[in-house]
Amino acid sequence: MNTIDGQFTAVLNVLSEDVRFRILALIASKGELTAKEILSEFDFTQPTLSHHMACLTEAGLVNAERKGRFVIYSVNNETIDYVISGISSLKSVSKKTLKEDPDTDGKELKKSKKKKKKDKNKKKKKD
């Protein structure tokens, strides 16, 4: 993933909602859950859960498989890997930037701050 695209930001937007992230974490911890099982862990109504589950499934974060009259929800690992890859690419860019530009390196920055401080002290002593 070289650039951040619309799908990536849409997935992050869905995950930015605290309740949705908690629902996803619950499903991930259990493997598979029905709506009834998810509802037992939260204090909101079934229509509210339906809304959150629709957001999670549309973003590709959750798989929904109908078994009889129940829908079984599970985490879509491909989308999770996609998000991890996208976040990791940001870290890689930071490392490359530091290597290419020594002025942005933390050590170089500390040295320049110390030098500026010494220069200020010398100037004060002259006055």
- Yes or no: is domain 6-79 CATH 1.10.10.10? yes
Q: What single letter denotes the amino acid at residue 65? A: E
Q: How far apart are CA 101 and CA 108, in angstroms?
A: 10
Distance CA 125, CA 123 (A): 5
Q: Is 113 helix (H, G, I), strand (E, B) or coil?
A: helix
The residue count for the chain? 127
63-114 pLDDT tens trace: 999 999 999 999 999 999 999 988 888 875 555 555 555 555 555 555 555 5
Contact 71, 64 (CB under 8 A): yes
Domain edges within the chain: 6-79
Whether the pLDDT of residue 59 is over 90: the answer is yes
For 73, other C-beta atoms within 10 Å of its C-beta total 25
| Entry pTM | 0.67
Q: Are 28 and 41 in contact (CB under 8 A)?
A: no
* Lowest mean per-residue pLDDT among 11-20, 51-60, 113-122: 113-122
